[in-house]
Amino acid sequence: MQKQEFTITVYTENQVGLLNRIAIIFSRRKINIESLNTSPSEVDSVHRFTIVINEYEEVVRKLCRQIEKQVDVLKAYYNTNDEIVWQELAMYKVPTDVIAEEVKVERLLSQHGAKAVVIRKDYTVFEVSGHREETDKLIEVLEPYGLIEFVRSARVAIIKKSDGFHSKLKEFEYKEPGEHAVENEFLDKNQEVFSM
C-alpha cells in the first residue's frame, strides 16, 4: 500500500466553528490538506466539505471516522480519483498586448480550453477548469509570455456512485434511525468501506 490522493466528502450542518473542528482533525495528526472546499450540497441546509489529501487508505479511513464522530457532522465518505468526477478552476492574468500580437498564444489558449473572462486594454483574465495537471500545464505555457497572476480553486467533486443525500438525511431525521443511520458499514467486510 502506498500514499495516494483521496477526496473526502463530508456532509454537515451549517455551523460556525465546524470548519475549525474538521481542520484540526488533520493538523493534529500533522497531515497536510491539499485542497479544501466548502459549499452547499444538494440538500437545503446541509453543507458539503470536499477535502483532498495524500495519504494511506488506512489513515484516510480513520480520519473519516474521527470526522464523522463530530456532533455536527452527518456523514463522511472518502473516494479515490477514479471514483469521482472532479474539477478545479484556475484563472490566469496575462498582458493583453502579448495575446493580441502573438497568434501563437491565442492558439495555445484555445488548445487548453481557456476562456476569456475579462478583456481589458492592459490585461486579460482567462479561466480553465479541469484537473490539476491541465491547469498546471497552462502556467508553463503562459510563463514565457508574462503571466501576471495565477490562482486555482479547491477541488470540487461528484461521487460517481452516489444517489445523493436526500434519502439519507430523511433517515437521520427520524428519531428511530433507519438503515443508513445505523449502518456500521465499516464493519461490513463485503462492502466497500465508506463508499456509497
Partner 1 sequence: METLELKKQKTEEVKSKSISGSAAVLEAFLAEGVDTIFGYPGGAIMPIYDALYDYNDRLKHILVRHEQGAIHAAQGYARASGKTGVVFATSGPAATNLVTGLADAMIDSTPVVCVTGQVFAHLLGTDAFQETDVINITTPITKWNYQVTDAKEIPSVLAKAFHIAGTGRPGPVLIDITKNAQLQMIEYSGYEKCTHIRSYRPKPIVRKEYIEEAAKLINEAKKPFVIFGQGVILGKAEKEFIKFIEKGGLPAAWTIMGMSAIPTNHPLAVGMLGMHGNYGPNLLTNECDVLIAVGMRFDDRVTGRLDKYAKQAKVIHLDIDPAEIDKNVKATVGVWGDCKETLPLLTELIQQKVYPQWLKQFKDCTTKEEDKVIKDELNPTGDTLTMGEVINTLNGLTGGDAIVVTDVGQHQMVACRYAHMNQSKSNITSGGLGTMGFALPAAIGAKYGAPDRTVVAIIGDGGVQMTIQELGTIMQFKPDVKILILNNSFLGMVRQWQELFHQNRYSFVDITSPDFVQVAKGYYIDGQSINERSKLKGALQTMLNHKGSYLLEVKVGKENNVFPMVPQGRGVAEIVLGKDEL
Candidates 29-37, 133-141, 158-166, 175-183 — which segment interacts with partner 1 by CB under 8 A?
175-183
Task: Indicate whether 166 belongs to the interface with partner 1 (CB under 8 A).
Answer: no
Nearer to partner 1, 28 or 121 (CB): 28
Nearer to partner 1, 146 or 164 (CB): 164
Contacts of 162 (CB under 8 A, 6+ apart): 77, 196
Closest contact distance (angstroms) between CB of 44 and partner 1 is: 14
Contact 78, 31 (CB under 8 A): no
And the C-alpha cell for 97? 498586448
Rounded to whole angstroms, the Cα distance separating 144 from 132 reads: 20
Task: Indicate whether 59 belongs to the interface with partner 1 (CB under 8 A).
Answer: no
Closest CA to 157 of 66, 68, 89: 89
Task: Out of 29, 40, 42, 72, point to the residue binding partner 1 (CB under 8 A).
Answer: 72
Contact 77, 23 (CB under 8 A): no
Closest contact distance (angstroms) between CB of 27 and partner 1 is: 9
Candidates 17-25, 116-124, 126-134, 135-143 — which segment interacts with partner 1 by CB under 8 A?
17-25
| Coil, helix or strand at residue 99 | helix
Task: Indicate whether 103 belongs to the interface with partner 1 (CB under 8 A).
Answer: no
Closest contact distance (angstroms) between CB of 180 and partner 1 is: 11
Q: How many CB atoms lie within 10 A of CB 73?
A: 21
Closest contact distance (angstroms) between CB of 19 and partner 1 is: 10
Task: Indicate whether 151 belongs to the interface with partner 1 (CB under 8 A).
Answer: no
Task: Indicate whether 24 belongs to the interface with partner 1 (CB under 8 A).
Answer: yes
And the C-alpha cell for 131? 484537473
Contacts of 128 (CB under 8 A, 6+ apart): 89, 90, 92, 112, 113, 114, 115, 134, 135, 138
Q: Which residues bind partner 1 (CB under 8 A)?
A: 12-13, 16-17, 20-21, 24, 28, 61-62, 65-66, 68-69, 71-74, 169, 172-173, 175, 177, 181-182, 184, 186-187
